Structure 1
Amino acid sequence: MTSKEKMKAGEPYIASGDELFKERQHAKVELQKFNGMDPTKIKARNKILKQLLGKTGQRFFFEPPFLCDYGYNIEVGENFYANYNLTILDCAKVSIGDDVMIAPNVSLFTAGHPVDAELRVAGWEFALPITIGNRVWIGGQTVINPGVTIGDNTVIGSGSVVTKDIPSNVVAAGNPCRVIREIGEQDKIYYAKGRKFDLHEEKS
């Protein structure tokens, strides 16, 4: 197996080969174009991402800057929004569902390295996929580690470090991230502590 095949299979590999290096360089060139482009050129920016990423929905928006390793391992669904400074190390597949919102300074890391120093210095690494369900909201400064799955409708609080799977329909936060509570009917009434929605307000 080549290093790329081992990387995509979740097996230990060394990432210094020409093929993977060239692919990372290609992503850097395309992202430099994207991140440096006139912010009003939304269609041109989205065209770059459609060509770089593995899959996108028809409606998506990335606030620059956005960084990733390869791009082709990233799939985002419909109505996806990423705020400033999203970083995705996509050595393994990153699957993101529909209606997902990501706050500023979020990092998704599929890449990992051996704990043993000699193996790490020798260049060995591995990658495990990350899966984020539909209608998920990821709070700012969150880090999601290799191999994590986050279920539908879940909210991850700001500053979390997600090291294990998080189920659907919960609020989770902390380092390490853990479930705080289930999402319920009260969340249709209150948008913040003691603050109620006015459902009769006119939509602008």
Structure 2
Amino acid sequence: MAELTEREKMLRGELFVSFTPDLIAARNRCKYAYTRYNNAGEVPRRRLVELWKDVIEDKTPLPPRLDDPVADDELFKDEPWIEPPVKADYGFNVIIGKNVFINSNCVMIDSLPITIGSRTLFGPNVSLFAGTHPVDPAVRNGMEGPEMGAPITIGEDCWIGGNVTILPGVTIGKGSTVGAGSVVTKDVPPFHVVAGNPARIIRKIETTMKE
């Protein structure tokens, strides 16, 4: 049986070495793609969607262009809206649902999948860290040592306040709110408000929305 590549180890959530030619190239590809997105300037919505799809390596073709610019923009009303600048490590591990708004300065360390449910809103300066390092410095060993990670899952209809940090392995349940400045280290149940460092449950949200 062939030995796993470092990329395969990464995607399996195992210890992996990130400073290998393949993964360096993957991060460079993403960096060039998000730099183009961040520097796009005043372009039609179609172009922004196209540039974002390059970041996340989404090969789904865009719908045929319409002559009316307003009508053409309307074709992309359900696509996520990501305010630049945005950064990601790999891009291909970022999965975003419909009608998602991500404010500026979002950082996504997507060593493993980062999934964001539909209609979720982000404030500015949100950091999503699905990658991490061993605590033992002898194992960590600078750039020569291994890394690891765990997926981050944010449910539908969530509100993530500004300056929030979400750590590896965290799941935030549907309809929940994370207060500004929080550091989320543990799972958040659906329809709850959490806040603080580390984030703690403040209250349950009373809503007519069904889980």
> What TM bracket, shorter-length normalisation?
0.7 to 0.9
Q: CA RMSD in A?
A: 1.7
> Quick check: 1:4 aligned with 2:26?
no
> Quick check: 1:28 aligned with 2:31?
yes
> Quick check: 1:95 aligned with 2:98?
no
Q: When you count strand as a share of all residues, which structure comes out higher?
A: 1
Deviates more, 1:48-57 or 1:107-116: 48-57
Aligned equivalent of 1:156, options 160, 173, 178? 178
User: Where do residues 1-204 of structure 1 align in structure 2 (5 Å cutoff)?
Assistant: 1-53=4-56, 58-121=78-141, 122-184=144-206
**Residues of 2 paired with 1:29 and 1:114: CA distance?**
28
**Residues of 2 paired with 1:109 and 1:12: CA distance?**
16
Deviation at 1:51, TM superposition (A): 2.8
Deviation at 1:39, TM superposition (A): 3.5
Secondary structure at the counterpart of residue 193 of structure 2: strand
Deviation at 1:38, TM superposition (A): 1.0
Deviation at 1:124, TM superposition (A): 1.2
The aligned amino acid for 2:146 is: W
- The aligned length equals 186
Deviation at 1:79, TM superposition (A): 0.2
Does the CA-based 8 Å contact 2:33-2:54 persist in structure 1? no
TM-score, structure 1 as length reference? 0.87
Per-residue CA deviation, residues 95-132 of structure 1 (Å, 9 max, x unaligned), is 11110101000000001101111111142110110000
Q: Match for residue 73 of structure 2? A: none
When residues 37 and 15 of structure 1 are mapped into structure 2, their CA distance, relative to the original with a 3 A threshold, is same
Deviates more, 1:81-90 or 1:35-44: 35-44
Deviation at 1:59, TM superposition (A): 1.9
**Residues of 2 paired with 1:154 and 1:11: CA distance?**
30
* Identity value in percent: 39
Q: Which runs of 5+ in 2 are unaligned?
A: 61-75
